[in-house]
Chain A
């Protein structure tokens, strides 16, 4: 029996073990549930060492060329102190380093990507010569719909009056249209995941389909 054939049968067994949960929870499902946690963590450790810690820290240190890498190495090892109650506070140092620097480096770029560029794109022309009517309508919906949805999410003022009242009412309608689309796509996404498993069971395992 070949390695791949055994692999397919084992994969099929665990696939059916998970699906058995739909009928009733059972020991095989529990076993699969726990195995996946252990294997994914073990895999992550192995890959992280093989790709990161080994070539970027251990190998340069052994070769004697990267003594300055002892600084991030020791900083990283301080994470272990989290499990030693007396010195657990030392684990805050690497967390602070990663968090502070990540936020600092991301601040101007996030401002640009998620705010400024989107503001720029929101100020789109409503009409241009030759534009079909549904695009003109769409541009109106896009611009005023964005404004209305923003008004809806502004909870610091009561939603009353022409601006906040009417604006938030229009906003919620636009939001419902958007969330409806998201719901439709969510259904599609969930079904797609099921399709993938059925393709495996019927194709790779039972050879009923190509």
Chain B
């Protein structure tokens, strides 16, 4: 029951859906339709895992008064307040999801700016790394840096002052050697996904069973 049934579900489900693709019969289409209707519902509940883990970790920090425990309140309060404000409170300045509302405010004017800004920090780090770490220590590294320089200049309008050919060279690098390298990687990724899928479907790969007891 604990391990065998899930493995059977994976195998039966995987083989059934693989075969279904090749069968144009109505019954096959019905299976497909039921599946595409049910799967999002099951998938939606997976959010419970993330929310539960988050709650457990931060609740313990607050209870034990760990270092920096007040920040855990900044996680848990909006975590539970957002659904309540968005779904349970009637549409008003306090409730509902549309602007103006606290739900909309927290998302648009706090979440979005913070997340965007966090990603933009990388621009500073890449500038620092450009100076401190990017070294042409070998011929290969020099080729990499040279290719990067050409492409960087070709992608911006100022690159055109270096001559009309620079953009053409940059595009040539993107459309041919870059394509070749990425295609080779793509084959590896594609075969890897197929191999991993088969390993999981046929029960060879069982790591996903972990974390739920015996």
A and B touch in the complex (CB under 8 A): yes
| Other-chain contact of A150, B45, B51, B146, B184 (Cβ < 8 Å) | B184
Measured in the bound complex, the distance between the Cα atoms of B115 and A200 in whole Å is 14
Question: Chain A: residues with CB nearer than 8 A to chain B?
Answer: 3, 6-8, 10-12, 14-15, 17-19, 21-22, 30-46, 48-50, 52-53, 56-57, 69, 71-73, 75-77, 79-80, 82-83, 85-86, 88-89, 91-111, 113-115, 118-119, 121-122, 134, 137-139, 141-146, 148-150, 152-153, 171-188, 190-191, 193-194, 196-197, 200
Chain B residues, CB < 8 A from A177? 143-144, 147, 173, 177-178, 181
**Is the CB–CB distance between B114 and A146 below 8 Å?**
no
Q: Interface size bucket, B side?
A: 35 or more
Q: How far is the CB of A206 from chain B (nearest CB, A)?
A: 15
| Other-chain contact of B75, A18, A37, A49, A93 (Cβ < 8 Å) | A37
**Is the CB–CB distance between B107 and A92 below 8 Å?**
no
Q: How far is the CB of A52 from chain B (nearest CB, A)?
A: 4
**Is the CB–CB distance between B114 and A45 below 8 Å?**
no
Question: Chain B: residues with CB nearer than 8 A to chain A?
Answer: 1-3, 5-7, 9-18, 20-22, 35, 37-52, 54, 56, 68, 71-72, 74-83, 86-87, 97, 99-100, 103, 105-126, 130, 140-141, 143-152, 155-156, 168, 172-191, 193-194, 197-198, 200-201, 208-209, 211-214
User: Given A35-B78, A71-B38, are A110 and B110 also a contact pair (CB < 8 Å)?
Assistant: no
Residue of chain A at shortest CB distance from B200:
A103
Chain B residues, CB < 8 A from A185? 151, 155
Chain A residues, CB < 8 A from B71? 30-31, 33-34
**Is the CB–CB distance between A11 and B200 below 8 Å?**
no
User: Given A22-B124, A88-B213, are A100 and B9 also a contact pair (CB < 8 Å)?
Assistant: yes
Q: How far is the CB of A153 from chain B (nearest CB, A)?
A: 6
Chain B residues, CB < 8 A from A96? 5-7, 9-10, 13
**Is the CB–CB distance between B83 and A49 below 8 Å?**
yes
**Is the CB–CB distance between A100 and B201 below 8 Å?**
yes
Chain A residues, CB < 8 A from B177? 141-142, 145, 174, 177-178, 181
Chain A residues, CB < 8 A from B13? 96-97, 100-101, 104
Q: How far is the CB of B202 from chain A (nearest CB, A)?
A: 10
Measured in the bound complex, the distance between the Cα atoms of B9 and A135 in whole Å is 51
Given contacts A69-B41, A88-B212, A110-B190, 6 further A-B contacts (CB under 8 A): A19-B121, A104-B197, A114-B186, A119-B187, A142-B179, A174-B180
Q: How far is the CB of A144 from chain B (nearest CB, A)?
A: 8
Q: In terms of DSSP, what is the predominant structure of the interface of chain A? A: helix
Q: How far is the CB of B4 from chain A (nearest CB, A)?
A: 10
Q: Which of B50, B81, B112 has the most CB of A within 10 A?
A: B112
Chain A residues, CB < 8 A from B68? 30
Measured in the bound complex, the distance between the Cα atoms of B125 and A49 in whole Å is 38
**Is the CB–CB distance between A48 and B18 below 8 Å?**
no
User: Given A105-B20, A188-B155, are A183 and B105 also a contact pair (CB < 8 Å)?
Assistant: no
Chain B residues, CB < 8 A from A44? 47
Residue of chain B at shortest CB distance from A141:
B176
**Is the CB–CB distance between A53 and B41 below 8 Å?**
yes
Q: How far is the CB of B101 from chain A (nearest CB, A)?
A: 9
**Is the CB–CB distance between A46 and B209 below 8 Å?**
no
- Enumerate 17 A-B pairs (CB-CB under 8 Å) in ascending A order: A14-B113, A32-B114, A35-B74, A43-B103, A76-B44, A91-B49, A94-B42, A103-B200, A109-B21, A114-B193, A138-B172, A141-B177, A142-B176, A180-B146, A184-B147, A187-B130, A193-B116
Measured in the bound complex, the distance between the Cα atoms of B141 and A175 in whole Å is 11
Measured in the bound complex, the distance between the Cα atoms of B1 and A190 in whole Å is 49
| Other-chain contact of A34, B3, B75, B194, B211 (Cβ < 8 Å) | B75
**Is the CB–CB distance between A196 and B81 below 8 Å?**
no
Residue of chain A at shortest CB distance from B151:
A184
Chain B residues, CB < 8 A from A102? 39
Measured in the bound complex, the distance between the Cα atoms of B74 and A42 in whole Å is 12
Measured in the bound complex, the distance between the Cα atoms of B82 and A146 in whole Å is 50
